[in-house]
């Protein structure tokens, strides 16, 4: 089982879109996948066809030790991977976890119970460097950072890289930055090209080869409770996530 956290403390940069589409594309490639939604907004949950309202069990109960993952996981209609869902209740976990033992390791401990069920676990992190994100990073083998190639893209990246280093030093010696994924890419924009080149210069082969273009089909898909890859497999964005999944399988093999 390989565990990857999709993280970036900025909101609206494509974390959830990346997580659900990677999950779907990996599942289509024959991998057994669990998506863990760690964002109280529950967008990855809804985008995977699971209704976040009225969940009896969610990742919240799992983090607090009130449920195991096997009881809380769900599967949306027509979706080929499992989801450990989230909703607003999860916002309270931040405070409640503070007083618990192993507060950074709650998710890691819970995942041990389903270790044989999956090839990939993908964690959709919230837009913060909070205790929830720490739980994601503390159990992951690798971090995937989606980024938009815009002027402020590099700002904040050093905070995230420092957090990854800190988690590596204190909680999780296995944690690695797997790579930066360029999303919502506009090949006609000079700025996109410049920022993209800058990223390649600074991060070398840590930048995934795949470029995910801005593509309206990816944005429409969540309202149908489906990842874009399943909603319209021929869309340019869906094909890019297919290529990205192949890159992830290749990189996961290497460690």
Binding residue (CB under 6 A) for ligand ADP from 22, 31, 38, 43: 43
Cβ–Cβ < 8 Å for 117, 84? no
One symbol per residue from 229 to 248: x for binding ligand ADP (CB under 6 A), - otherwise; what is it?
--------x-----------
Supply the minimum distance, in Å, between the C-beta of residue 214 and ligand ADP: 4
One symbol per residue from 102 to 141: x for binding ligand ADP (CB under 6 A), - otherwise; what is it?
-------------------------x--------------
- CA dist 243 and 87 (Å) reads 30
The count of C-alpha atoms lying within 13 angstroms of the C-alpha of 87, restricted to the half-sphere facing its C-beta, is 13
Of the pair 15, 251, the CB lying nearest ligand ADP is at 15
**Residues 6+ away with beta carbon under 8 Å from 173:** none
**Residues 6+ away with beta carbon under 8 Å from 163:** 129, 133, 137
Backbone angles phi, psi at 42, to 5 degrees: 65, 25
Supply the minimum distance, in Å, between the C-beta of residue 247 and ligand ADP: 16
- CA dist 102 and 139 (Å) reads 12
Q: What DSSP designation does 153 have?
A: T
One symbol per residue from 4 to 23: x for binding ligand ADP (CB under 6 A), - otherwise; what is it?
-------xxxxxxx------
14 binds, among ligand ADP, Mg ion, none (CB under 5 to 8 A by kind): ligand ADP
Which residues of this protein are in contact with Mg ion, per CB under 5 A? 15-16, 43
Which residues of this protein are in contact with ligand ADP, per CB under 6 A? 11-17, 43, 127, 183-184, 212, 214-215, 218-219, 237
């Amino acid at each position: 089982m390989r565990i990857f956290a999709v993280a970036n403390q900025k909101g609206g940069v494509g974390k959830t879109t990346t997580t659900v589409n990677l999950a779907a594309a990996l599942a289509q490639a024959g991998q057994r996948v669990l998506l863990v939604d760690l964002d109280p907004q529950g967008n990855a949950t809804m985008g995977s066809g699971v209704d976040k309202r009225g969940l009896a069990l969610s990742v919240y109960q799992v983090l607090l030790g009130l449920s195991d993952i096997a009881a809380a996981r769900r599967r949306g209609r027509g979706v080929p991977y499992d989801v450990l869902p989230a909703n607003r209740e999860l916002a309270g976990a931040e405070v409640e976890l503070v007083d618990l033992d192993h507060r950074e390791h709650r998710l890691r401990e819970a995942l041990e119970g389903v270790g044989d069920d999956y090839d990939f676990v993908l964690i959709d992190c919230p837009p913060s460097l909070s205790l929830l994100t720490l739980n994601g990073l503390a159990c992951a083998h690798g971090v995937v950072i989606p980024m938009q190639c815009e002027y402020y893209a590099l700002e904040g990246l050093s905070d995230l890289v420092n957090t990854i280093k800190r988690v590596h030093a204190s909680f999780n010696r296995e944690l690695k930055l797997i790579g930066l994924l360029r999303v919502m890419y506009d090949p006609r924009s000079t700025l996109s090209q410049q920022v993209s080149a800058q990223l390649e210069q600074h991060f070398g082969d840590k930048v995934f080869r795949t470029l995910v273009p801005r593509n309206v089909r990816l944005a429409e898909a969540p309202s149908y409770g489906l990842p874009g890859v399943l909603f319209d497999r021929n869309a340019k964005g869906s094909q890019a996530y297919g290529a990205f999944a192949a890159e992830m399988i290749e990189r996961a093999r290497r460690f």
